[in-house]
Structure 1
Amino acid sequence: MTTPSRPDTADAGSGRPDPGLDAIMSERRHLINLAYRLLGSLSEAEDAVQETYARWYAMSRRQRETIEVPGAWLTTVASRVCLNLLGSARARRETYVGEWVPEPLPGHTEWISGRTGGAALDPAERVTLDESINLAFLVVLEAMTPAERVAFILHDVFCHPFTDIADILGRTPAACRQLASSARRRVRAARPSTTPATARSADVIRDFKQAWEAKDITALVGLLDPDATATGDGGGLATTFLHPIHGDEQIAHAWAEIARRKPGNMTFLERTVNGQPGLVAEQDGAIVTVFAFDITDDRIKHIWVVRNPEKLRHWATG
C-alpha cells in the first residue's frame, strides 16, 4: 500500500510545520472508502487517493489556506480522478483476459467504515456503507456509466447534495439527480426479494463447503438456485474458467471436479469477503482464491471466484 508523501510538511523557507497536515491526512480513510466504491479496486483506489494528495501538495501553502473546507476539496478532486479512471478502465477491461470481477476485500471493519454528511436522504434512497461494500452490489455498479456511478455513490451512499455532485460532473443538479435515479433503478432491479441474515448466509456457505469437500453433487444442487451463475476471474495470471457457468447442475459438477483436483496442500476456509460470509482457498500459507457469494431465499444465486493474484494482495492468513 502506498502512503501519501508529505512534500510540504513545513512552510517553504520558514521551517514552520503545516498546522493542517494531520487534518488533511485524517481524510485518507474516507477517501479510500469513496474511491474503492467508485472503482471496485482497492489498488486503483489507493492510486487515486495518492494522486489527490499529490494535487493538494502541488499547491502553494497560500493557495491551500484559501480552501475553506479541505475535506470537501479532497473529496471533489478524488471523485474527479475516479471519474477519469472509470472511463479508461472500461477500455482496459475490454482486453482483460476472461471475466473482470471487483477486487475482493478481507474482513477488516476499516473498509466498511466511512463518513457521511450533507442533507438527510429519504430511506428509500439510502444505501448503507456496509451494503455498498457487498461484492454483489459492486458488480451492479459495473453496469453503470461512470457518471451514473459517481452520482449514485456520492448521493445515495455518502449523502452529498446534488449541487456538489454537479460541480464534480460538470452537469446541472437536475441532470445529476436523473443519473442517480437511473442508477438506483438498476440497483433495485438487481436486489433479491429477500436477503438472509448474515448468520443464515454463513450456514448456507458452511453447508456448501461441506458438500463441496464431500463431492456431493446432490447436496450442492440443493444449495444452488436453479438459475445460479458462477464467474471466475484469473486475469490471465491464474487458471480459472474463462466464461460464466450457468445452472445449478453445471455448477455442482464443476465444483465437484475442483474438489477432485484439489492439491493435497490446499485447504478451504470460511472467511468474511466484503463484509459477507465467504470462502478462501489457502495453499502453503497463502490465500490463492477467494469465493464470494450472493444468496437469495436461502439459495446461492451467484458465486464469484477471484484467482488473479494482483487482486489478492490485501489478503493474508489468520
Structure 2
Amino acid sequence: MKQTTIAKRVEGIGIGLHKGEPIRIVLDPLEADDGIVFYRKDLMTTIKAKPQSVINTQMATVIGNEKGYISTIEHLLSAISGYGIDNIKIILDANEVPVMDGSSIGFCMMLDEAGVVNLEAEKQIMIIKKEIEIKNGDKFVKISPSKNPKFNYTIKFNHPIIGTQNYLFEFSKQNYIKEIARARTFGFLKDVQALRAKNLALGGSLENAVVMDDNSILNPEGLRFEDEFVRHKILDAIGDLALMGMPIFGDYESYAGSHELNHLLTLEILSDAKNYEIVKLNQKEALEYAKVFS
C-alpha cells in the first residue's frame, strides 16, 4: 500500500474563529515522507504537524515554534486523516485555520476537489501493542490494540439538550464522511459572551457552531444529528491523533475527553518503543486496508 498526497493545489477562504477575520488557506501536494506540514506565509515559518509541536490545548489544538503558532488545526487534520492522506502542505496567512462551518465537511470538499493520488513510497502504519490510558479524575482517554480501528466516545453534560451521549464509530473514509464530518463544534451562549469580552471567539456565530442557552439550541435549523455533540468529539479526537503522522491500528475510547488528554495520550504512546510498532503491511493486509479509504 502506497503513501498518498493530493493531486493538485486547492485553496479557499474562511473566517477565523477567534479573530473573526478572513483567512486564506491553500492545500499543496508534497512528496513521500514529507508528512503533514503547516506554513505561515505571513511569518515565512514552517511548523510540522507532530505531537512535539503542540504548545496549547486549552480551547483547541495549537502547534507552534519560536516564530509563531497555528490554532484550531484539529478539524482540518481530522479530514486529512479521514481521507488517508500522508503528505500535504497547508499554507495559511494567519495564526489559525479557518473554522468553516464548525465541522470538517468543508475541508472534505476541498480534498475532493484536489483528489488523492498514490506516491511511490510504502505507507507506514502504527500498530498499538498494549493498552495505554490517560486519566484525569473520572475523565479518560485510552487506546488498545486492534486491527479494525474504532472510536468509542461518551460525553456527559448537565444540559437538557445534551445529557449523556455515546457513539461507536468504525473507521473508514465513507463512514467518516457519512457519520462524522458534518458534526459541528458546539458551545454555550454564556461562554461565548465571556470569550468575546476577552477579544476571543469574535468569528463565532450560528453559521459555524451549535450554540445553546440554558435550555435550548439557538440555531434555527437545529441539529444535523440527534447526537451531533458526541460525534463532533470523535471528529476532534481523529484530528488530534492525526498528529502521529500515520494511520493507527488501535481502538480509541474516551469518557469526557479533551484536546489535552488526547495530546497526553500521543506523548505517552511515543514515550516507550514497546507501546507501538511501525510497519508496512503485507500485500493481503494492504489490499484489505485499502478498502477503508475507497
Q: TM-score range by the shorter chain?
A: 0.3 to 0.5
Q: TM-score, normalised by structure 1?
A: 0.30
Greater relative CO (CA pairs within 8 A, separation 6+): 2
Larger Rg: 1
Greater strand share, structure number: 2
Q: TM-score, normalised by structure 2?
A: 0.32
